[in-house]
Amino acid sequence: MNLQLLQTRLGYTFKDITLLQQALTHRSHSSTHNERLEFLGDSVLNCVVANILYERFTQLDEGDLSRLRANLVKQQSLYEIAQKLELSQFLRLGEGELKSGGFRRPSILADTLEALLGAIFLDTGFDAARDTIRAFYIPILDSVDPRTLGKDAKTLLQEFLQSKKVSLPQYNVVATHGAAHSQEFEIECLVPKLGIQVFGRGGSRRAGEQAAAKLALDVAQQALAKSPGPGRKPRQRSAQLKLAGIATIQGELDVDHE
Read off the pLDDT of residues 68-83 as tens digits, 9 standing for 90 and up. Answer: 899 899 998 999 999 9
Tens of pLDDT, residues 90-117: 999 999 888 888 888 899 999 999 999 9
Per the CB < 8 A criterion, the answer to whether 258 and 165 are in contact is yes
Distance CA 229, CA 255 (A): 8
Closest to 67 in 3D by CA, of 48, 49, 55, 44: 49
Which positions are annotated as active-site residues? 42, 114
User: CB-based contacts of 218: which residues, under 8 Å, 6+ apart?
Assistant: 243, 249
Tens of pLDDT, residues 10-44: 999 999 999 999 999 999 999 999 999 999 999 99
What value does the mean pLDDT take over residues 190-216? 90
Q: How confident is the model at residue 172 (pLDDT cuts 50, 70, 90)?
A: very high
Element (H, E) at 248: strand 247-254
Q: How confident is the model at residue 180 (pLDDT cuts 50, 70, 90)?
A: confident
pLDDT of residue 228: 53
Predicted model pTM: 0.66
Per the CB < 8 A criterion, the answer to whether 57 and 134 are in contact is no
Q: How confident is the model at residue 151 (pLDDT cuts 50, 70, 90)?
A: confident
Delimit the domains of the chain by residue range.
3-141, 153-254
Looking at the structure, give the CATH architecture of the domain made up of residues 153-254.
2-Layer Sandwich (3.30)
Q: 3-141, superfamily in CATH?
A: Ribonuclease III domain (1.10.1520.10)
> Residue 100 corresponds to which amino acid?
S
Backbone angles phi, psi at 42, to 5 degrees: -60, -45
Element (H, E) at 174: strand 170-177
Q: Which letter does DSSP use for residue 92 in this model?
A: B
